[in-house]
């Protein structure tokens, strides 16, 4: 036990020293024994474990949205906070079974991921 204590201490110090990325981090949380990134520089996102700032690779079909990296979905208005999917499609679109935002049909309008059929009447548009 006596010989393993210095090794454990060295591993602990090495882990804590390398648990963040100074180069891509803008502001830090600083505690008595830890130092974590609070906010990444523009173009980077904080990894899920909160230890590193990584670039969001657009070449791999990713998009940076409110400081988080998501799989890009065309016509997505808002991505989920804690998961990698489009939560809300743009107006005129609905989310399909594959999580993509697809345009509503010709005589429909889309809102809140649902397409509504509409007809015109003397009183204006009626949504069904």
Residue 109 reports pLDDT greater than 60:
yes
The kind and range of the H/E element at 32 are none
pLDDT digits (tens, 9 = 90+) for 59-86: 888 888 877 889 999 999 999 988 888 9
How far, in Å, are 27, 55, 84 from residue 47 at the CA level?
15, 10, 13
For residue 15, the model assigns a pLDDT of 47
Residue 20 in this model has a pLDDT that exceeds 60: no
If phi > 0 it is left, if psi is from -120 to 50 it is alpha, else beta; for residue 113 that is left
3-state secondary structure of 102: strand
Helix (H, G, I), strand (E, B) or coil at 120: strand
Q: pTM for this one?
A: 0.59
Structure tokens at 20: 């963040």
pLDDT at residue 32 in the model: 59
Q: What is the pLDDT of residues 21-62, one digit of tens each?
A: 568 888 777 665 566 777 888 888 887 777 788 888 888 888
pLDDT at 103: 93
Confidence of residue 102 (pLDDT cuts 50, 70, 90): very high
Identify which has the larger pLDDT, 96 or 126: 96
DSSP string, 33-95: S-EEEEEEPTTEEE-TTSS-EEE--GGGTEEEETTEEEE--TTEEEE-SSSSSEEEEPTTEEE
Element containing residue 123 per DSSP (H, E): none
Look at residue 126 and tell me whether its pLDDT is greater than 60: no
Helix H segments across the chain?
4-17
């Amino acid at each position: 036990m006596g010989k393993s204590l210095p090794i454990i201490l060295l591993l602990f110090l090495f882990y804590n020293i390398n648990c963040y990325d100074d180069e891509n981090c803008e502001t830090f949380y600083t505690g008595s024994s830890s130092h974590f990134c609070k906010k990444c520089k523009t173009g980077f996102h904080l990894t899920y474990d909160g230890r590193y700032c990584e670039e969001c690779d657009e070449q791999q079909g990713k998009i940076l949205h409110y400081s988080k990296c998501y799989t890009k979905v065309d016509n997505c208005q808002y991505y989920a906070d804690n998961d990698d999917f489009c939560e809300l499609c743009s107006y005129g679109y609905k989310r399909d079974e594959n999580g993509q935002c697809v345009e509503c049909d010709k005589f429909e309008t889309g809102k809140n991921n649902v397409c509504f059929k509409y007809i015109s009447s003397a009183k204006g548009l009626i949504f069904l």
